[in-house]
A and B are shown apart, each in its own frame.
Chain A
């Protein structure tokens, strides 16, 4: 499943026929259709990536053209910087926990929606599935900034919704507990917000993938006597494994970024830097302190972490037998 389509696989015979004549129509077509998007893309996306790697090895201050090349000194400096290392630790914590929690929660909800229906007759989803699907997707369409703002108010110690509900339920000790202002809970409270924002999206993704599995497969499993739980574990998860992997990697990339949520919830990095992440540190190093070379080095560290994360997920999936059993 999910066969990767690569370019250049077109019909060779047709291509050969076409290559003979180079008319104005053809040349202008290729120049505009391929050239224009590519130029924009190379100038504004690829070249900044490449430049960042070079700048990371200079002590560039940004506002003049004086860029002394200093090799890996920026990286050495970063790894000796305690606050930067705290931000790395926090980003890694997010990358470890957020994908697991989000993927499992959305997978459970998607399974309930799709195969929670009757065990007799046609395979079908739960009644009212459409309603749950639409509601669950709401947070994904809300701008991350607004999600952060709303939750910032919910966590407000005195007038927030959360403490209002908790004291209403009798937890009077939490009357003015600062969820985001206490280093013990700031990180967890922030993670809850990000999970809240993304579960719906992945739930929809998994529902679509599960619906792509032919009903005959489920019918066969049912005839063989598999219950719902067994079906979910032995049929659904192996068959949508590629989707789970993609979702996991996307969520990891998001978790390593997390800039918007973290900077809106706790703009300065939280109590004792407990919610400071690499992206926040990078932003303030570049645009508040003007240390652009150092900031680019942080960007490279972040990119490296992203690639390592994606590589690890691919490897674990491969080692545990992913995509093999499905293809056979």
Chain B
């Protein structure tokens, strides 16, 4: 809209400064808006800051006062949470499970979405509605039969079993989002690749998939968050103490803490779980904010 005639229009001779003046009303509205948004931001930040602060305190300091600063800033709670509470082990399990599931679901989801978006074949609508059903029905309906399916094929309480279930339940969201994305890519490019002699496989992996990178990135972020935070599925089908993932590990830690109380370590464990996702979010937040509407409007 705005024509950029010169870099500093106000320096141009005879230029009238047209910068909008703020009226008194604007200032009031802006003031109210800032106040409300700042209040909400405090609501968000204070519990998190308090958790961080408490993670450095000893249990007796925590009981003495919720506000006091720790006497010694030390990472003793973190060491204890990582080692004795097994958070380190859970962390490793989570990285393995979420990493594998993420790669597999992105590849399979992209392939499925690509086929649905580019080819007309009988039953494509049925596939589409099956995916919609998977997004709508509560996981709770499936959880009992799922338990026995995994038991029957010998994958109950194993990391591969958890990975494949993660893949299956992340698939409908992935396919939905990428479907719209592949639909929007110009089909002329795929046709050009095929005229140049590329087969179906090559067309997908060397031409179409690279073009879908922005869509893939934002779906991957959402899937990462969803899988990293998943709780119900591991609690139901992955109960071996050695194979636990972070979310169930920390819940179990809190449960056993109830009476034997090492709250300092509990807060430290919470920080350990939150920091990776928070860092990932801050790094990728631009990508995520642009895609959030496209991802949920379908």
A5 near B179 (CB under 8 angstroms)?
yes
State in angstroms the CA–CA spacing of A286 and B29 once bound together. Answer: 54
Which one of B4-12, B70-78, B160-168 is at the A interface? B160-168
In the complex, chain A residues whose CB is within 8 Å of the CB of B66: 159-161, 163-164
State in angstroms the CA–CA spacing of A52 and B40 once bound together. Answer: 42
Q: A32-B111, A43-B168, A122-B20 are in contact. Are A109 and B40 (CB under 8 A)?
A: yes
In the complex, chain B residues whose CB is within 8 Å of the CB of A37: 108-109, 111-112, 171, 175
- Chain A residue nearest to B229 (CB atoms) is A143
Interface status of B48 (Cβ within 8 A of chain A): yes
Q: A44-B169, A55-B144, A205-B296 are in contact. Are A260 and B231 (CB under 8 A)?
A: yes
State in angstroms the CA–CA spacing of A37 and B130 once bound together. Answer: 12
Q: A7-B117, A33-B204 are in contact. Are A310 and B255 (CB under 8 A)?
A: no
| Binary contact track A99-143/B, C-beta < 8 Å → 1, others 0 | 000000000110011001111111000111001111111111111
- Chain A residue nearest to B263 (CB atoms) is A153
Q: Which of B131, B141, B149, B187 contacts A44 (CB 8 A)?
A: B149
| Binary contact track A151-164/B, C-beta < 8 Å → 1, others 0 | 11110001111011
Interface status of A45 (Cβ within 8 A of chain B): yes
Q: Which of B119, B171, B254, B263 contacts A15 (CB 8 A)?
A: B119
Interface status of A212 (Cβ within 8 A of chain B): yes
B247 near A246 (CB under 8 angstroms)?
no
B22 near A120 (CB under 8 angstroms)?
yes
Chain A interface size, as a band, is 35 or more
B278 near A302 (CB under 8 angstroms)?
no
In the complex, chain A residues whose CB is within 8 Å of the CB of B100: none
Q: Which of B37, B141, B246 contacts A126 (CB 8 A)?
A: B37
Interface status of B82 (Cβ within 8 A of chain A): no
Interface status of A188 (Cβ within 8 A of chain B): no
A145 near B231 (CB under 8 angstroms)?
yes
A135 near B142 (CB under 8 angstroms)?
no
Using a Cβ cutoff of 8 Å, how many contacts connect chains A and B?
332
Interface status of B3 (Cβ within 8 A of chain A): no
State in angstroms the CA–CA spacing of A128 and B30 once bound together. Answer: 11
State in angstroms the CA–CA spacing of A38 and B134 once bound together. Answer: 12
| Binary contact track A18-40/B, C-beta < 8 Å → 1, others 0 | 10000101101110111011101
Interface status of A169 (Cβ within 8 A of chain B): no
CB distance from B27 to the nearest CB of A (A): 9
State in angstroms the CA–CA spacing of A49 and B132 once bound together. Answer: 13
CB distance from A42 to the nearest CB of B (A): 8
In the complex, chain A residues whose CB is within 8 Å of the CB of B201: 25, 28-29
In the complex, chain A residues whose CB is within 8 Å of the CB of B297: 2, 209, 242-243, 246
In the complex, chain A residues whose CB is within 8 Å of the CB of B259: none
Which one of A173-181, A251-259, A319-327 is at the B interface? A251-259
Q: Which of B38, B63, B134, B164 contacts A159 (CB 8 A)?
A: B63
Q: Which of A40, A41, A135, A149 contacts B270 (CB 8 A)?
A: A149
Majority SS at the chain A contact face = helix
B29 near A116 (CB under 8 angstroms)?
yes
State in angstroms the CA–CA spacing of A112 and B37 once bound together. Answer: 8
In the complex, chain B residues whose CB is within 8 Å of the CB of A34: 111-112, 115-116, 127
B180 near A141 (CB under 8 angstroms)?
no
Segment 71-124 of B: residues with Cβ below 8 Å from A: 108-109, 111-112, 114-121, 124
Of the A-B pairs whose beta carbons lie under 8 Å apart in the complex, a sample of 27, sorted by A's number, is A5-B183, A7-B128, A10-B119, A10-B120, A33-B112, A34-B111, A36-B108, A40-B168, A40-B171, A41-B172, A44-B165, A52-B145, A116-B33, A116-B34, A117-B30, A118-B22, A120-B20, A134-B282, A136-B40, A139-B44, A143-B229, A253-B136, A278-B140, A279-B138, A286-B147, A306-B137, A306-B138
Given contacts A29-B200, A109-B40, A119-B29, 14 further A-B contacts (CB under 8 A): A7-B179, A29-B204, A30-B119, A38-B127, A52-B145, A109-B36, A116-B34, A119-B26, A138-B278, A208-B290, A259-B140, A259-B231, A264-B254, A307-B136
Residues in chain B within 8 A of chain A (CB atoms): 18-23, 25-26, 29-30, 33-34, 36-38, 40-41, 43-48, 50-51, 54, 62-67, 108-109, 111-112, 114-121, 124-125, 127-128, 130-131, 133-134, 136-149, 164-165, 167-169, 171-172, 175, 179-180, 183, 187, 191, 199-201, 204, 225, 228-229, 231-232, 235-236, 246-248, 250-251, 254-255, 263, 266-267, 270, 273-274, 277-278, 280-282, 285, 289-290, 292-293, 296-298
Residues in chain A within 8 A of chain B (CB atoms): 2, 4-12, 14-15, 18, 23, 25-26, 28-30, 32-34, 36-38, 40-49, 51-52, 55, 62, 108-109, 112-113, 116-122, 126-128, 131-146, 149-154, 158-161, 163-164, 168, 196, 199-201, 204-205, 207-209, 212, 228, 242-243, 246-247, 250, 253, 256-257, 259-260, 264, 267, 278-279, 282-283, 286-287, 292, 295-296, 298-300, 302-303, 306-307, 310
